[in-house]
Amino acid sequence: MQSLTAEDARSWIDRFTADVDDRFADLTDLDRRAGDGDYGTNLRSALRRASANLEAGPTDSPEAVFTAVANGFLNTGGTSGPLFGMWFREFAKAFATATTAEAVATGATNAAAVVQRLGKAEVGHKTMVDAMVPAAEALTAAVEEGTDLPGALRSAATAAHEGAESTEELLARRGRASYVGEHARGVIDPGALTVAWFFDAAVSVTAP
Pick 4 or 121: Cβ nearer ligand ADP: 121
CB neighbours of residue 147 within 10 Å: 17
DSSP-assigned states of every residue in 63-125:
HHHHHHHHHHHHTS-TTHHHHHHHHHHHHHHHTTT--BHHHHHHHHHHHHHHHHHHHT--TTS
Residue 190 sits in the site that holds ligand ADP (CB under 6 A): yes
Binding segment toward Mg ion, per CB under 5 A, in 15-23, 30-38, 88-96, 200-208: 30-38
Q: Does 79 bind ligand ADP (CB under 6 A)?
A: yes
Residue 107 interacting entry, from Mg ion, ligand ADP, none, C-beta within 5 to 8 Å by type: none
**Cβ contact 157:126 at 8 Å:** no
* Site residues (CB under 6 A) for ligand ADP, limited to 98-117: 115
- Check whether the bond before 58 is cis (ω within 30° of 0): yes
Write out the residues near Mg ion by the rule CB under 5 A: 31, 35-36, 38-39, 78
Write out the residues near ligand ADP by the rule CB under 6 A: 31, 35-36, 38-39, 42, 78-80, 83, 115, 119-121, 127-129, 174-176, 189-192
